């Protein structure tokens, strides 16, 4: 939650906000937020992550055009160490 609270685009308890599930955790974000803005709100480099929105993988060139909707499930994934 640290990243969200720091970001002025994501105002908590605003009636214009929507509920989304990001990486399995419920979060409140501003209505009309783009995927790109969501990714940036967590200080993530869009080039190093992959976004799945409601089980559909988004191309990176869609990040700025796709808006998050109320009830969406977003997964932000990347590569970690593994065998």
Q: Which residues bind another protein (CB under 8 A)?
A: 1-3, 22-25, 42, 44, 48-50, 52, 55, 57, 59-60, 75-83
Q: How far is the CB of 37 from another protein (least distance, A)?
A: 15
What is the rounded distance in angstroms from the CA atom of residue 12 to the CA atom of residue 46? 24
Min separation Cβ 35 and another protein, Å: 13
Residue 37 has phi, psi (to 5 degrees) of: -65, -35
Q: Is 70 left (phi over 0), alpha (psi -120 to 50) or beta?
A: beta
Nearer to another protein by Cβ, of 13 and 45: the residue is 45
Asked if 13 and 28 count as a contact pair (C-beta separation under 8 A), the reply is yes
Q: Choose between 16 and 80: whose C-beta lies nearer to another protein.
A: 80
Report in angstroms how near the CB of residue 10 gets to another protein at its nearest: 13
């Amino acid at each position: 939650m640290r990243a969200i609270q720091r970001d002025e685009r994501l105002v908590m308890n605003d009636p214009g906000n929507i509920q989304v599930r990001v990486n399995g955790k419920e979060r409140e974000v501003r209505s009309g937020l783009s995927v790109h803005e969501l990714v940036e709100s967590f200080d993530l480099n869009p080039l190093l992550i992959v976004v799945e929105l409601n089980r559909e993988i988004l191309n990176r060139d869609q990040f700025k055009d796709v808006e998050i909707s109320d009830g969406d499930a977003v997964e932000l994934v990347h590569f970690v160490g593994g065998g």
